[in-house]
Amino acid sequence: MDKFKNTNIISAIGNTPIIKLNSVTKDIESEIYVKLEYMNPGGSVKDRMGVYMCQKAVENGDLKPGGTIVECTSGNTGVGVALFANTYGYKCVFVMADKQSQEKIDNLRAYGAKVIVCPTDVEPDDPRSYYSVAAALAELPNSFVLNQYANKANTLCHYEQTGPEIYEQTNAEFDTFMASVGTGGTISGVGKFLKEKKPSMKVVGVDCKGSILAHYKKTGEMGEAHSYVLEGIGEDFLPENVNFDVIDDFVVVEDEESFQMTRRLLREEGIYAGGSCGSAVVGAIKYAKSLNKPEKILTIMVDSGNRYASKIYNDEWMQSHDYKVENSKDALDEKILNIIGDNGRLV
């Protein structure tokens, strides 16, 4: 049993598979590969940096034994932090914007965390924003605010862990790395590592309409932010973890096309992923269509679809936003109903 002495849930993070998309890419010559980060134990790529930021905070003496970890999160980073906190005996307080799915709030509460929900549509420096509320909670005794937007351990984690893991799995035998961008940690860390190993590697971010990141990269101007439905990607300010020198270009995607692709990924490829994963694939297809010759593109499936069961995967929610939903009723329904009669309910 000695072999298992030092294992715990943290040691189960990483080594996620990379697979090729086969169906949603039928119309393009380029190949798209996806790294299934939702297979991490907490259900997202953010397990990696959530844990790593905590480890660094302990090493630096910022986080003391039994202390309280405060973080603003769209839901995924919080789970990574909670994995660390529950394993090593810390408390968690998470601050979220009210656009995030109920599943994410319930999930964090299930880990035993305190969860505070703040309005989405206020400026980042408004005292009611989730960034400001998290910063104010630094007043809690024996607490530390991780701040994934500015905390360089976020990018460093992906530079030291996710990037090398991708390199080992692929030998960098692809042309372009793409990722949907929120804090920028994933694209900046993985992108920097891959470029150092293979200078011809291109790094392309996926931003959403309404965010300022792509506009800033293209023009050097801040532009104006607008609200959007996608969770976890795009920003209305420039996070310090977005390294614009590493990112060569951005592709911009919209809410509905991202959600339709998210649903297609499940129906056609069996990939049960979140909305920003649909964005990443839509972005990769748009990028592929802009190329003169086919490429191999690798992107990240950030989080699990079960965080969006009541939204993207729910027909009523889709329809309430005027997003198109295929009619799932077909001839098979009739046949089933004929057999089951009143003995069961076809839902």
Task: Give me the sign of the Cα torsion angle 329, 330, 334, 340.
Answer: negative
Under 8 Å CB-to-CB from 89, ≥6 apart: which residues? 65, 66
Question: Which residue in the set 172, 302, 312, 318 belongs to the binding site for ligand PLP (CB under 6 A)?
Answer: 302
**182 makes contact with ligand PLP (CB under 6 A):** yes
58-66, 72-80, 221-229, 336-344 -> range binding ligand PLP (CB under 6 A): 72-80
245 φ, ψ (degrees, to nearest 5): -75, -30
Single residue of 40, 68, 76, 258 touching ligand PLP by CB under 6 A? 76
CB of 45 to ligand PLP, least distance (A): 7
To ligand PLP, the closest distance from the beta carbon of 105 in angstroms equals: 14
185 binds ligand PLP per the rule CB under 6 A: yes
CB of 275 to ligand PLP, least distance (A): 7
Answer for which of 16, 30, 40, 74 binds ligand PLP (CB under 6 A) is 74
| Contact by Cβ (8 Å): 145, 95 | no
Residue nearest to ligand PLP (CB): 232
What is the pattern of x (binds ligand PLP, CB under 6 A) and - over residues 243-282? -------------------------------x-x------
Query: Residue 305 interacts with ligand PLP (CB under 6 A)?
Result: no
Pick between residue 31 and residue 47 the one whose CB is nearest to ligand PLP: 47
Residues 317 and 71: their CA atoms lie apart, in Å, by 29
CA distances from 69 to 82, 111, 143, 240 (A): 9, 13, 6, 20
Is 105 a binding residue for ligand PLP by CB under 6 A? The answer is no
Q: Which residues of 305-331 are buried (b: 16+ CB within 10 A; e: fewer)?
A: bbbbeebbbeeebbeeeebeeeeeeee
Q: Does 186 bind ligand PLP (CB under 6 A)?
A: yes
- Determine if 183 is a binding residue for ligand PLP (CB under 6 A): yes
Q: How far apart are CA 40 and CA 305, in angstroms?
A: 13
Do 70 and 145 contact (CB within 8 A), yes or no?
A: yes
Residue in 30, 132, 151, 180 binding ligand PLP, rule: CB under 6 A: 180
Measured in Å, how far apart are the chain's first and last C-alpha atoms? 47
Pick out residues in 205-244 that bind ligand PLP (CB under 6 A).
Answer: 231-233
Q: Judged by CB under 6 A, does residue 303 bind ligand PLP?
A: yes
User: Is 46 assigned a catalytic role?
Assistant: yes
DSSP3 helix / strand / coil % (the chain, rounded to 5): 40, 15, 40
On whether the CB atoms of residues 161 and 190 are closer than 8 A, the answer is no
Q: What is the dihedral angle through the alpha carbons of 185, 190, 191, 197, rounded to the nearest 10 degrees?
A: 150
We find the least distance from the C-beta atom of residue 231 to ligand PLP, in angstroms, to be 6
The residue (of 67 and 134) whose beta carbon lies closer to ligand PLP is 134
**Catalytic option among 46, 56, 202, 311:** 46
CB closer to ligand PLP out of 14 and 291: 14
User: Which span (135-143, 178-186, 246-254, 319-327) binds ligand PLP, by CB under 6 A?
Assistant: 178-186
Between 67 and 189, whose beta carbon lies closer to ligand PLP? 189
Phi, psi of 318 (to 5 degrees): -60, -45
Are the C-beta atoms of 215 and 189 separated by less than 8 Å?
A: no
Binding-site size, ligand PLP (CB under 6 A): 18
How many C-alpha atoms does 81 have within 13 Å on its Cβ side? 37
For ligand PLP, the closer CB: 166 or 187: 187
- What's the half-sphere exposure (Cβ side, CA atoms, 13 Å) at 100? 26
Active site residues per annotation: 46
Which positions touch ligand PLP (CB under 6 A)? 74, 76-77, 180-187, 231-233, 274, 276, 302-303
